[in-house]
Amino acid sequence: MLSFLPKSPSEIQDELKAKFKAKRKALKLTQEQLAIKSGVSLGSLKRFEASGQISLESLLKLAFILECLGDFDGVCQQKEEMPKSIEDLI
């Protein structure tokens, strides 16, 4: 079933922690290696992968090392206004 409701913050948090963990593993980095390369404490990284809790600064540091920092460029961008009816399209 398709859902037209936006994702909840906790759903997004769960998706992010899973994606970051998968990306770390794809790059064959241990948690310890990623912590050292990013400057994020090992404890913070472990907490993030377990619960999704992390500071924005630490998240961006991890994204830089995991080569996905550019993915944040689209956050809060102004979107084109969608037509309200078929007549508006014509």
Select the more confidently predicted residue: 86 or 76: 76
* Tens-digit pLDDT profile for residues 61-73: 999 999 999 999 9
In angstroms, the CA 31 to CA 49 distance is: 9
- To the nearest 5 percent, what fractions of the chain are helix, strand and coil? 60, 0, 40
Which residue ranges form the domains of the chain, and what is each CATH number? Answer: 11-66 (1.10.260)
In whole angstroms, how large is the CA radius of gyration of the chain? 17
* Tens-digit pLDDT profile for residues 54-63: 999 999 999 9
pLDDT of residue 29: 98
pTM of the model: 0.81
* Tens-digit pLDDT profile for residues 2-45: 567 888 999 999 999 999 999 999 999 999 999 999 999 999 99
